[in-house]
């Protein structure tokens, strides 16, 4: 077995970081291809290399996860570079989300970029961002967390502003950049405050320093709050959510998919690890009740996201706000933690929801990318009658919408159910109730898309000139994933909950 080989001499421990390394290498290879053939870079080759690289990383991560690398039964988390990086079940699980989303985005971008310049840069930026996200999920020190977060963010700023002749894209790129920089600064300051109180950056050492007690509870509290702010920014949670609808709307649609699925999951990976490992509920001083903060955050985020989504006229903005709502659901993973409670179940359910979300939300944004590719328009009215010209894609979009709303028989139903069930199990039935009510309300705006596509008749002649192969492939893949995650949810939730339990 691989996991045995990993701990014996011939294979060095750093090979456990293979998924991240593969992603980074693929990004470099893409740049190399572009350097060799600067004038006539083949879009097909670039997209194929990006998709192959991310799928390879996916396969390796899945293999590690199945083989037990970094999990309890094979000797526990693999710690690297003086404990600043750690490979464990949770980081591998999140890597699955990043890599599969990256692969779908790369395949979809093949069509989206067909008549754009600087294609190689696009693909390599996506892969570098994915590398950053993978590192975020492995980072075990406040310093590496910050650096990997920046590695994920910087390419994202450029990607949002990628359509440089489009004012919306450039404007939202600028907004994203400004808010991102401010949030980074806030988080960095929070990190320095925590360092000041505990004298350490390694998450485990922070926790043990806290366990010995500190006199600067106030400073620590401010630091924790500022770090929470950084996490809230990256996950597009209230009150740091304002950038999200702007950035998602202005960015090229595949990038909206990438940011709202993978980047958000990366934010959660960091949040989960920091708060569980560095500020464990047993050790944190009574004055710093971050669980309460996340409870408030979760309720406000899901409610605000949902109500804002319900009032939109633009489908892309609606999805952007609904993705804020989903951040609220995923925050239950931190909000329903208790000392000694079924914490692994709660956190695992949140991770499993993020995986399902990776499929359904990416698929939904990629469908929007396809509609943009057709030049149909962005409002609900523009979607009228789409099903009559593109029934298969419309079926996939219907699957995404109903799955996002949490309706059976789709994956989103089970992941939401697991989330709310775990919250009730932990004693937070009111949190589950708010989530369930929000979820029921969300059906209203999701079904508007479905209604427009299937039931309304098109106002003008609806002509579709092309059938983009890559976009279709990516959308159908995401749709199939969303469907198959219903019968196949068992291994997902069981893996997620067992790797999450290993954190506590």
Partner 1 sequence: MIIEALIAVTFLAALVVFVAPDEYAGRLAAALSALPILGSLWMWAQYDASGNALLGGSIAFETDVVWLTLGGLDLHWFVGVDGISLPLVVLTTILTTLAIISAWTPIAERQSQFYGLMLFMEANLLGVFTALDFFAWFVFWEAVLVPMYFLIGVWGGPNRRYAAIKFFVYTNIASLVMFIGFIALVFGLGDSVSSMRLPEIAQALRAGELGGFAGLDTATLKTVAFVATFLGFAVKVPVAPLHTWLPDAHVEAPTPVSVMLAGVLLKMGTYALLRFNFTMMPDVATALVVPIAGIAVISVIYGAMLALAQEDLKRIVAYSSVSSMGYVILGLVAYTTYGVGGATFQMIAHGLISGLMFMAVGVIYNTTHTRMVGDMSGIADRMPVTAGIFVAGAFGYMGLPLMAGFAGEFFIFKGSFESTVHAGMPLFTAAAMFGIVIVAGYLLFAMQRTLFGPFSFDGEYEITNAPFHDVAPLAVLLLLTIVLGVAPDLFFGMIQDAVNPILNGGGL
Residues that bind partner 1 (CB under 8 A): 342, 345, 349, 388, 391, 402, 407-409, 413-414, 418, 421-422, 424-425, 429, 433, 436, 440, 443, 447, 451, 454-456, 486-487, 489-490, 493-494
CB of 303 to partner 1, least distance (A): 17
Q: Spell out the residues 6+ positions from residue 126 whose beta carbon is closer than 8 angstroms to its own.
A: 50, 102, 105, 106, 109, 155, 159, 255, 258
The C-alpha atoms of residue 4 and residue 68 are separated, in whole angstroms, by 10
Q: Which is nearer to partner 1, 292 or 440 (CB)?
A: 440
CB of 363 to partner 1, least distance (A): 17
CB of 480 to partner 1, least distance (A): 13
CB of 487 to partner 1, least distance (A): 8
Q: Which is nearer to partner 1, 406 or 468 (CB)?
A: 406
Q: Which of 371, 376, 160 is nearest to 263 (CA)?
A: 160
- Cα 55 to Cα 40, 58, 124, 223: the distances in Å are 25, 5, 15, 38
3-state SS class at 141:
strand
The C-alpha atoms of residue 124 and residue 257 are separated, in whole angstroms, by 17
Q: Spell out the residues 6+ positions from residue 185 whose beta carbon is closer than 8 angstroms to its own.
A: none
CB of 130 to partner 1, least distance (A): 29
CB of 167 to partner 1, least distance (A): 36
Q: Which is nearer to partner 1, 31 or 501 (CB)?
A: 501
Q: Which of 44, 262, 59, 37 is nearest to 153 (CA)?
A: 262
Q: Which is nearer to partner 1, 14 or 429 (CB)?
A: 429
87 strand-pairing partners: 78
CB of 393 to partner 1, least distance (A): 13
The tokens 């002749």 sit on which residue? 165
Q: Which is nearer to partner 1, 48 or 424 (CB)?
A: 424
The C-alpha atoms of residue 67 and residue 43 are separated, in whole angstroms, by 36
Q: Which is nearer to partner 1, 254 or 342 (CB)?
A: 342
Q: Which is nearer to partner 1, 230 or 363 (CB)?
A: 363
Quote the longest CA-to-CA distance of the chain: 71
DSSP string for residues in 299-343: HHHHHHHHHHHHT-SBHHHHHHHHHHHHHHHHHHHHHT--TTSSH
Q: Which of 334, 355, 335 is nearest to 412 (CA)?
A: 355
CB of 408 to partner 1, least distance (A): 4
Residues 5, 11 contacting (CB under 8 angstroms): yes
CB of 440 to partner 1, least distance (A): 5
Q: Which is nearer to partner 1, 139 or 450 (CB)?
A: 450
Q: Which is nearer to partner 1, 375 or 409 (CB)?
A: 409
The C-alpha atoms of residue 142 and residue 224 are separated, in whole angstroms, by 12
Q: Which is nearer to partner 1, 223 or 344 (CB)?
A: 344
The torsion angle over the Cα atoms of residues 325, 331, 335 and 338, rounded to 10 degrees, is 150
Distance of CA 289 to the CA centre of its chain: 26
Q: Which is nearer to partner 1, 64 or 446 (CB)?
A: 446
State the DSSP code for 277.
I
The C-alpha atoms of residue 206 and residue 84 are separated, in whole angstroms, by 12
CB of 349 to partner 1, least distance (A): 8
The C-alpha atoms of residue 501 and residue 348 are separated, in whole angstroms, by 8
CB of 377 to partner 1, least distance (A): 21
Q: Which is nearer to partner 1, 207 or 436 (CB)?
A: 436
Residues 461, 372 contacting (CB under 8 angstroms): no
Q: Spell out the residues 6+ positions from residue 184 whose beta carbon is closer than 8 angstroms to its own.
A: 146, 149, 150, 153, 230
CB of 364 to partner 1, least distance (A): 17
């Amino acid at each position: 077995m691989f996991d045995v080989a990993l701990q014996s001499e011939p294979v060095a421990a750093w090979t456990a970081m293979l998924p991240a390394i593969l992603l980074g290498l693929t990004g470099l290879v893409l740049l190399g291809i572009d350097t060799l053939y600067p004038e006539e870079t083949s879009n097909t080759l670039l997209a194929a290399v990006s998709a192959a690289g991310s799928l390879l990383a996916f396969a390796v991560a899945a293999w590690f996860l199945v083989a037990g690398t970094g999990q309890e039964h094979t000797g526990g988390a693999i710690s690297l570079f003086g404990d600043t990086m750690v490979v464990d079940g949770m980081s591998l699980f999140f890597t699955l989300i990043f890599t599969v989303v990256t692969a779908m985005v790369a395949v979809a971008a093949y069509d989206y970029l067909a008549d754009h310049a600087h294609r190689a840069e696009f693909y390599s930026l996506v892969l570098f961002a994915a590398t950053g996200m993978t590192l975020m999920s492995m980072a075990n020190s406040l310093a590496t967390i910050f650096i990997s977060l920046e590695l994920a963010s910087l390419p994202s700023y450029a990607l949002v502003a990628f359509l440089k002749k489009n004012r919306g894209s450039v404007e939202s790129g600028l907004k994203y950049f400004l808010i991102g920089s401010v949030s980074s600064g806030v988080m960095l300051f929070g990190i320095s405050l925590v360092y000041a109180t505990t004298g350490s950056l390694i998450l485990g050492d922070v926790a043990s320093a806290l366990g010995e007690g500190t006199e600067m509870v106030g400073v620590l509290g401010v630091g924790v709050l500022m770090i929470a702010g950084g996490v809230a920014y990256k996950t597009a949670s209230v009150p740091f959510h304002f950038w999200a609808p702007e950035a998602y709307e202005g960015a090229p649609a595949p990038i909206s998919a990438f940011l709202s699925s993978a980047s958000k999951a990366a934010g959660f990976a960091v949040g989960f690890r920091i708060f569980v490992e560095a500020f464990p509920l047993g050790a944190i001083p009574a004055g710093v009740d971050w669980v309460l903060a996340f409870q408030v955050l979760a309720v406000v985020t899901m409610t605000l996201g949902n109500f804002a989504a319900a009032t939109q006229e633009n489908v892309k903005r609606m999805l952007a706000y609904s993705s804020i709502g989903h951040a609220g659901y995923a925050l239950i993973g931190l909000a329903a933690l208790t000392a000694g409670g079924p914490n692994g179940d709660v956190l695992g359910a949140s991770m499993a929801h993020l995986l399902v979300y990776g499929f359904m939300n990416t698929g939904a944004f990629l469908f929007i990318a396809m509609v943009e590719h057709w030049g149909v328009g962005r409002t609900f009215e523009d979607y009228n009658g789409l099903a009559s010209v593109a029934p298969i894609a419309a079926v996939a979009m219907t699957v995404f919408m109903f799955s996002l709303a949490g309706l059976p028989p789709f994956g989103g139903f089970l992941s939401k159910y697991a989330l709310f069930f775990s919250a009730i199990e932990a004693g937070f039935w009111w949190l589950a109730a708010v989530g369930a009510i929000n979820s029921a309300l969300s059906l209203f705006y999701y079904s508007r898309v479905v209604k427009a596509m299937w039931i309304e008749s098109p106002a003008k002649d609806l002509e579709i000139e092309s059938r983009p192969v890559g976009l279709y492939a990516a959308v159908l893949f995401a749709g199939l994933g969303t469907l198959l995650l219903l019968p196949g949810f068992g291994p997902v939730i069981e893996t997620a909950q067992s790797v999450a339990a290993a954190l506590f």
